[in-house]
Amino acid sequence: MSMCEQDNVIEFLLRTGKTVATAESCTGGMVGAAFTEYPGVSAIFLEGVITYANEAKIRLGVREETLAAHGAVSHETAGEMAEAVRKRAGTDIGISTTGIAGPGGGTEKKPVGLVYVGIATAMRTKTYTLRLKGNRAEVRGKTVKAVFHFLKTELEDL
């Protein structure tokens, strides 16, 4: 994805008035920062939260049972994070990221570079799986780019 795709997504949101909120774990606010680089985005980007610890995910609205059964890095958690931030902020779209950016923390089942992105709208919640290569900064940066690509796909269906 190019920066142009990010700009196009944000311009589309501004034109249509679709509002967005983010709940980020592995990206630590980078998705929100990407939105706020764009002038006038306060009209559609309402809030972003960093829910790095499981306790923060629970306070946001992720169920303890979900974390116990599937872990923080899972489709289920990404979906619940996106739904919870959308509900909390009262936005049209909720976006979440959760994953293992490295260099440590990976396992055989959940290796470094495994990231889940969630996008929740009034119609549905969809999660995406990323299996990224690179160092911590590269995994996080690629995740942000992927968020805008997935968001573009979702917006085409709205």
Q: Which fold has domain 3-157?
A: Maf protein (3.90.950)
- For the chain, give every domain's residue range: 3-157
The pTM score is 0.96
| Low-confidence stretches of the chain (pLDDT beneath 50) | 1
**The residue type at 44:** I
- Rounded distance between C-alpha atoms, residue 152 and residue 158, angstroms: 10
Look up tokens 């923060």; give the residue.
56
DSSP element (H, E) containing 46: strand 45-50
Residue closest to 100 by CA, chosen among 74, 119, 62? 74
Query: 80-124: per-residue pLDDT in tens?
Result: 999 999 999 999 999 999 999 999 999 999 999 999 999 999 999
